Every structure is written in structure tokens, then in C-alpha cells.
Amino acid sequence: MTKFIGYRCSLCGKEYLPGQVTYTCPSDGGNLDVVLDYAAIQKKFQPDDLVCRDESSLWRYLPLLPVAEPGGESTPLHAAGWTPVFALPRLGQTLGLKYLWLKDESRNPTASFKDRASAIVVARAREIGAEVVVTASTGNAGAALAGMSAAIGQKAVIFAPRTAPQAKIAQLLVFGAKVILVDGTYDDAFDLTIQAANEFGWYCRNTGYNPFTAEGKKTAAFEIWEWWLNEHRSWHTADNPLDKHPPLTIFVSVGDGNIISGLHKGFKDLYALGWINRMPRIIGVQAEGSAAIANAFRAGGETITPVSAKTIADSISVDLPRDGVRAVRAARETGGTYITVKDEDILAAIAALGPSGVFVEPAGAAAYAGLVQAASQGVVGADDPVLVLNTGSGLKDVRAAMQAVPEAPVIEPTLQALKKFL
Ligand SMILES: *Cc1c(COP(=O)(O)O)cnc(C)c1O
Ligand SMILES: [Zn+2]
């Protein structure tokens, strides 16, 4: 089925055929939305055809994806997505919320949300016969591309800032990618990657540049939709009284703005198909020291002015967000907003989530820190159902985690010493 019928520029609206462009709009550099043939999908599929599939990964949503499933044996590439949603009743109570959940993306094969994007890009690379896939990364996108590539023997090259957390660099190396550390920022690595891809003919996965990353990230929206259907059976039945509830509010941390744009795209797909009758509210959270998109949102426009990014949340530390315009729209068009949080709030969020059994990296914690602020300011109220996306595992950045909690005491191995301590 040819459901992938082209691209549409998010800035000028110009449409392109699938073979006509590869990355961004040739006229204005705008991010390209993948265009699907909704009528063809509608003719062939109903929601029930998807939700009854016996497939516990993002490939469950193949009918809504612009790539073919990379066939073959079960590998980590076939295990991206389908992450659990946990209820957080005690934290909900603390925040004055009746309905609070967390979707835990640290359960992905390489322990971050980025596996969703990399799985789809690697599938695309295989389709177009790309010999080498390359990406710039603050760490997670690279680890995801390296891991998903390793799964099917695809060659990968990763550029990351030399300051990336050790665990992320270790993942890149262990997965066997060619790793090049750049003596500069993520933004420097980003620009170099595009030059290298053009020079050597590599297929570039860069976030907010390659249109397929958002198509991978949108699968989280499909999972949230399906989870919500199971919870409430209310998203696609116009006359269901449960629809009188406020819409689901989703908190997501934002760096380049591609996760939030991908989520938005997923819900827009479902809306266009008539499978949901209203959009959830999407709230983006940025670190105060890396808030170019929040700034644009607050200014009321779509102009993204670069900042000099500085935050402990390395995964969302970005000078010039590459998917800023769509990221602003994701909040604006869904009745959401942007919230900025301090590094100390991020560290506090790591410590707050841990006792619920969830170990988050700083960027994941930022989303929860944003919720704490939103709850205290009445941006969300007691009856609002709220879902926080944890985008990455705490094991990715152990140094930050250790800053979030007090040190453990060291004692002599005697009962006497223990008693004295207690
Ligand atoms: C990449 C990343 C983000 C932000 O995603 P963007 O698409 O850059 O906005 C958030 N959290 C984690 C853990 C990430 O790796
Ligand atoms: Zn354009």
C-alpha cells in the first residue's frame, strides 16, 4: 500500500513527492511533514484493526508509518516503543491531582525516547539502500541510532560533543558505531554532520532535519491513544459521557522540539483519520538555560532566536532548536503552553520520582518539574488527567543523579557503629 505520498513544508506549505526531497524544504529550509494518504488508510483500517494486533513494539502501528517493517528475526530494532504507563497516585496527591500517570520511555532498547526515531530512520535507510547513517547527538539520539543500526548490521557514524555524559558515549562505542567527539557544542556537531553527510553521501538522521524522526516519535502518541482507549473507551465515540472530562494534558521536555512535534503529528494523524474527536493538550517544558522555543511561544510568534544553552539536562541543551516552529505550534494548537524550569527544579524532580520506582535522567525529570510548576500555578487542576513523559533513563547520567540526592553514609561494619548512626 502506498500510504506515504509525499512531504509538505511546515513553513511555505509546498508539497513534494517522496523521491523529490530528502531532508528540509529546498525553498526555505522548513521542516517537512510526512504526508500520508488518510483516505487510503481509512478504507483499509479501523482502530480495532490496530489495537488488536499482536505486536508489542512501535511496529504495531505499521499501517500509519511511512516505511516498510524491517523484516527478519527479532532484534532490538523490533523492540522499540510499546513502553509502559504507570499511575503515580502518591505524587498526584501531593500535587493535588486526581489522575496522574507517567509513560516510561527509559524502557526502550537503548533507554531513551530516541529509539522510536532511530528505528524508523534505520528502516528508511534500508529502504533507500543507504550504506552509512550519520547523526549529531547530545548522546541519546546517537546511542539510539548506534543501537538500532547494530541490530541489523547497518553502518553508523555518530558526532557528539566531547562533554556528553560518559554512559552515553560508552553506549555509542559498545554498539560499534564510528564515534567522533567534537570539541564544541551539540550545535557545532549538528552543522558538521550535515556537511559530512553531503560530502560523503551518508544518510543523515539529524533531529529536526530528517523528516522521518518525527514519524517515529509520533508512535508515542498512538500508544497514548490506545492506552487511553483502554482506560476510558472514550476517545473516538462522540457521544460518550466520559468525553465531558477535560482533555488529557501531556507534559514533555523540549530541546530541538522534535519529540513534541512528533507527538503532535501522531495526534493530528489520528484526528485526520477521525479516530479521535479532540486533541490532548500538549505542554512543552524547557530548561531556563535552554529556552529558545519557550521564548518564541511567549513572544506570540514563531521566530526562533538562538540562545547560549546552559543546563544540567544535556539532552535538552540546544542553542538553536531545529524543530522550533512545529514545536511552538504543538503547544499553541492544542491549548497547551510552555514552561521553563531551573536546574535545581530538575534535580528535585529526579529525587521526587525515584521513590515511585522511576529513575529518570535530567531531561526526563524536566517534564515532571514542569508539572510541579503547572500544578502550583493552576495551569492544571485537580480534575485534569495528566500524563508525564519520562524521555530517558537515570542510568544515562549518574553524575546528575548523585547531585539530586544526599550521599550515603559510610560506617564501620559493626552493629555498634550502625546503632550510633541510626
Ligand atoms: C532528545 C531528548 C529530549 C528532547 O527531544 P527534542 O526532540 O530534542 O525536543 C528530551 N529528553 C531526552 C531524554 C532526550 O534524549
Ligand atoms: Zn518551504
| pLDDT score for 243 | 55
248 lines ligand 1 (CB under 6 A): no
Nearest to 182 by CA among 194, 254, 308, 288: 194
Question: Which atom of ligand 1 is least distant from the CA of 105?
Answer: 13
Q: Which ligand is nearest to the CA of 15?
A: 2
Residue 183 has pLDDT above 60, yes or no: yes
105 lines ligand 1 (CB under 6 A): no
State pLDDT tens for residues 313-328. 999 999 999 999 999 9
What are the residues whose beta carbon lies below 5 Å from ligand 2 (ion)? 9, 11-12, 14, 25, 27-28, 30
CA distances from 357 to 87, 146, 154, 203, 393 (A): 11, 28, 35, 39, 12
State pLDDT tens for residues 339-390. 999 999 999 999 999 999 999 999 999 999 999 999 999 999 999 999 999 9
Residue nearest to atom 2 of ligand 1 (CA): 315
Whole-number Å distance, alpha carbon 416 to ligand 1 midpoint, is: 48
Which three-class secondary structure string do you get for 37-100? CHHHHHHHCCHHHHHCCCCCCHHHHHHHCCCCCCCCCCCHHHHCCCCCEEECHHHHHHHCCCCE
Q: Is 212 exposed, middle or buried (0-12, 13-18, 19+ CB in 10 A)?
A: buried
Q: Which ligand is nearest to the CA of 316?
A: 1
Who's near 102: CB < 8 A, 6+ residues apart? 85, 86, 88, 353, 356, 358, 368, 387, 388, 389, 390
| pLDDT score for 297 | 98
Whole-number Å distance, alpha carbon 405 to ligand 1 midpoint, is: 23
| pLDDT score for 315 | 93
Please report where in the chains the cell 529526579 appears, as a residue. Answer: 350
| pLDDT score for 229 | 85
| pLDDT score for 241 | 45
Residue 233 has pLDDT above 70, yes or no: no
Percent of the chain as helix, strand, coil, to the nearest 5: 45, 15, 40
Residue nearest to atom 14 of ligand 1 (CA): 315
Residue 119 has pLDDT above 50, yes or no: yes
**Which spans in 128-232 are helix H?**
140-152, 166-174, 186-200, 212-217, 219-232
Q: DSSP class of residue 7?
A: E
Q: Which ligand is nearest to the CA of 396?
A: 1
Mean model confidence pLDDT for the chain: 94
Question: Which atom of ligand 1 is least distant from the CA of 327?
Answer: 9
State pLDDT tens for residues 239-283. 444 456 789 999 999 999 999 999 999 999 999 999 998 899 999
Whole-number Å distance, alpha carbon 300 to ligand 1 midpoint, is: 23
